[in-house]
Structure 1
């Protein structure tokens, strides 16, 4: 939510047979007239253990296929370990890291931060609200 309490993004889980997908909407999922908006992106947990090219991949995120029909491949890949709060969001086309999640370490003796305290590092040009929605997506997938 923004400072006024208005939702920036809304996450919905879609379950088709054995596969769980998540769709993310800009703002509320429904408009005032009750119509459902188109999602801005979809996320899929990487679960194919037998044919996995890269076992370090946690999830794949792709744009709405209606708005980008020429783009059938995934746009972002999330790599690392969400349990240890050590993840990178990589643009699959360029290979550039656009956001990172890092565990925050305490510098004071005797103090330990939990897993809820972490750094979200967003590269210039990447939307911080979008990056935070990816964190919430991972939290839904892995907790």
Structure 2
């Protein structure tokens, strides 16, 4: 049986990246490679399980489509809340707010679906939730369906990527197991929050959170 954690995944040959993603090879050193499994470790729950390069549990998301709470909580390996994701109230487009821990006030970031009349490779934007903040704005391009996305900072540098994952024998592990490559300048929990929102917008099947607003 193929292992999900990274011990069975990192081949030099991989799905072709976006043409502009070649910037990820420039001025970057020792990115952190996480393995994302689109499955909760809890029985009968939806969610995500995230491992580091040695197979240790890093993050978990359990029952993220909970009808009772109507929110997505990113937890560390011990079950402590790291970030909470809620859909913005009365938003005309797909928009989510990212909160520190399990806080309900003062969101850190806002993530919006990119709306365009003409086809575009841009999927979403992540910006500081406080309009007066000096934080960075990020753009995510590519295809989440094909697990081929790149996250760019304001300077156009790749700070994170979502990529297909293969076993040692070169067999694709499908869309439910993929790699999240995070550069040191970006907090890996924010990169995982982006994955969760992408899955809410572009993932298979209906999202219960689309019926909720805060």
Band of TM-score, shorter chain: 0.7 to 0.9
Counterpart of 1:43 in structure 2 is 111
Hey, what's the Cα distance between the residues in 2 that align with 1:63 and 1:133?
Answer: 14
Counterpart of 2:97 in structure 1 is 23
Displacement of 1:113 in angstroms is 1.1
Which of 153, 160, 167 pairs up with 1:99? 160
Hey, what's the Cα distance between the residues in 2 that align with 1:141 and 1:134?
Answer: 11
In the superposition, the TM-score normalised over structure 1's length comes to 0.80
Count of paired positions: 129
In the superposition, the TM-score normalised over structure 2's length comes to 0.55
Residue pairs, 1:60-99, within 5 angstroms: 60-68=125-133, 75-91=137-153, 93-99=154-160
* Partner deviation per Cα, 1:94-117 (whole Å, 9 max, x = no partner): 1110000001123427x4412011
Hey, what's the Cα distance between the residues in 1 that align with 2:182 and 2:113?
Answer: 22
- Give every structure 1 segment of 4 or more consecutive aligned residues whose post-TM-superposition deviation is greater than 4 Å: none
| Unpaired stretches in structure 2, ≥5 consecutive residues | 1-74, 204-214
Hey, what's the Cα distance between the residues in 2 that align with 1:3 and 1:17?
Answer: 32
Displacement of 1:141 in angstroms is 1.4
Are the aligned partners of 2:165 and 2:172 in contact in 1 as well (CA < 8 Å)? no
Are the aligned partners of 2:125 and 2:140 in contact in 1 as well (CA < 8 Å)? yes
Q: Which has the higher contact order (CA 8 A, sep 6+)?
A: 2
The root-mean-square deviation of aligned C-alpha atoms, in Å, is 2.1
* Partner deviation per Cα, 1:6-36 (whole Å, 9 max, x = no partner): 111111112536412111111103xxxxxx3
